[in-house]
Amino acid sequence: MQLTLLDWFIVAAYFLVSFLIAWHYRNRAQHSVAEFFVCGRGVPWWLAGTSMVATTFAVDTPLAVTGLTVRYGIAGNWLWWSLLLSGMLTVFFFARLWRRAGVLTDVELIELRYAGRPAAFLRGFRALYLGVVINCLIMGWVTLAMVKVLTVMLGISKMEAVIACMAITAVFTTLAGLWGVLVTDLFQFVLMLTMTILLAYFAVDAVGGVTLLKAKLLALETTRQASTGASPAGSLLSFLPEPGSVWMPVFVFLVYLGVNWWASWYPGAEPGGGGYVAQRIFSAKDEKHSLWATLWFNVAHYAVRPWPWILVALSSAVLYPKLEDPEVGYVQVIVDFLPPSLRGLMLAAFLAAYMSTISTHLNWGSSYVVNDFYRRFVRRRAPERHYVRAAQLSTLALMLVAGGVSYHLQSIEQAWKLLLMIGAGTGGVYLLRWYWWRINAWSEIVAMLSALTISLFLQRTQPFAGSEPVVFAKTMLVTTVFCTSVWLAVTLFSRPTPLGRLVDFYRRVRPPGVGWRPIAEQAPDVPRVMSSWHNLRAWLLGCALVYCTLFATGKFLLGFWLFGTLLLAAAILAAWRLYREFARHGWESFG
């Protein structure tokens, strides 16, 4: 694809704005690790929430959504749509608990909640496992997506693209800390959302409009079913899987909806919160801002952004029916159908999507390495500027490792599924540690190790038959059952956390529910916070609001006006009832 001088000027202007923001916040980020990693805990909810959305607005996401949609239809997106259930739990059950804990990272919570050598080992191990191994896998697939974009749009080699991506983002993140990341995310989010909407318009127009798009998709389904010998069942346009669907079996959907969202650790949708979502919660001004930030994140992430990606994906399925790698179809639409006058803006939007995600993961991973490993186990008493310098160096090191990972990865979707499987079954621990005093450090250690071991064993031996989605669902289900059984048994037969540590945690965090009653009796001066049904009602209403808005938007865009109107009415009703919950009980009651 040829870029004009104007295109390069637009890209240069984007980098200039990003650099100026980073330069403006450079001094503020150097004061302390608290400023570098959580902005001194002074961020308003709208900025923290928008930063969460921009982080998940990664360049890998539209490519992965394109692959899922082309292979399995719109219903294939339940792989990540199901995670809304976990995200809304964080809003109404966990956000205020995290903010009340007052830690710098979610890994630091381990030694606040548990005690002794098992807790120290778990903190150090989890810091390196998540901050380096898992984090570099995530950055690797995000960089792979950007590499696919650059190789197609600019015609450069994979190695050149990887080096360019590394150099661009590492310098920015090292200079600015989290303040620079947050403010730049706001600018990047607006740019990315605008350009994805424009691209969706040109993609559908290239097919001939929505009506012709639907007709051509029906013809494509018939051709696929004839080539596979399958009976006509299911539709690429179905929002829910149909019985006998060739591309999205109902069994897979039930695993996504019944197991995936609570059982698996996944960045941005961790059961009970965690990762960079928790980091944004820590940076919020107070508990109220932490709740509103996570609520805005879930609404924008699941209800506002998906349809421009899906429309481009459906169009690419029609325009490039024989494309070997359907993920590349998204980029190919840009090359073939985006007007030359907008190509520079689209390249800048891709760079913004990439930088918003990578900058967050570099800052977040570095917080683990410095705060939870280096400062805790290597050098415990050093000046704040020493730890800031260590954070900057670890940021650069993480970028180098991530670049190597991205060079060897091939598929974004496969990396997504690998991460879901190696974390399957651990989610129950992360949920219950807030609501049941009996969970201990060994519960988490065994959950992580058993999930990793059984998932890798099943992937190596491949004992299950069926299509790729069916095999994935079976592996997820077996891993979850095995892992959950193991960590529950270890919890019941191992020694509980010392009473003194549990009482200190209870006084500081004030977790609600009957699961802490024995500990609450040891601290009668602490006001009881009982979990109430309105938290559950708010969770259900929040999920209904987002899902109904998501599907209403899709129905309207695809021309199904009656269904769209009914779903929109349901979304408005859910929003009104949720407002009444806040008005009746107040935000203070959630968590």
User: What residues does each domain of the chain span?
Assistant: 5-409, 498-531, 534-591
DSSP 321-384: TT-SSGGGHHHHHHHHHS-HHHHHHHHHHHHHHHHHHHHHHHHHHHHIIIIIIIIIII--S--H
Q: How many CA atoms lie within 13 A of 477 on its CB side?
A: 15
Contact 162, 406 (CB under 8 A): yes
Cα separation, 73 vs 245, in Å, equals: 10
Q: In this structure, what are the phi and psi dihedrals at residue 43, rounded to the nearest 5 degrees? A: -95, 135
- Would you state the pLDDT for residue 116? 92
- Would you state the pLDDT for residue 421? 73
Q: How many residues does the chain have?
A: 591
Cα separation, 437 vs 417, in Å, equals: 32
* Residue carrying the six token digits 């199901």: 82
DSSP state of 23: H
* Residue carrying the six token digits 């091939």: 410
- Would you state the pLDDT for residue 545? 96
- Would you state the pLDDT for residue 29? 54
Cα separation, 582 vs 545, in Å, equals: 15
Contact 312, 66 (CB under 8 A): yes
Positions in the chain short of pLDDT 70: 1-3, 22-38, 158-159, 161-162, 165-180, 224-234, 244-247, 407-417, 529-532, 585-591
The helix or strand, by DSSP H or E, that contains position 162, with its residue range, turns out to be: helix 158-207
pTM for this entry:
0.85
- Would you state the pLDDT for residue 119? 95
Instruction: Write out the E strands in 145-227.
Output: none
Cα separation, 67 vs 329, in Å, equals: 8
Cα separation, 261 vs 87, in Å, equals: 9
Contact 399, 138 (CB under 8 A): no
* Residue carrying the six token digits 């009668």: 524
- Would you state the pLDDT for residue 411? 62
Contact 567, 555 (CB under 8 A): yes
Instruction: Compute how many other C-beta atoms are within 10 angstroms of the C-beta atom of residue 229.
Output: 6
Cα separation, 101 vs 39, in Å, equals: 16
DSSP 467-483: -HHHHHHHHHHHHHHHH
Residue 575, burial from CB neighbour count under 10 angstroms (0-12, 13-18, 19+): middle
CATH number of 5-409: 1.20.1730.10
* Residue carrying the six token digits 């949609």: 69
Identify the bridge partners of residue 43 per DSSP, sorted by sequence position. 284
- Would you state the pLDDT for residue 230? 47
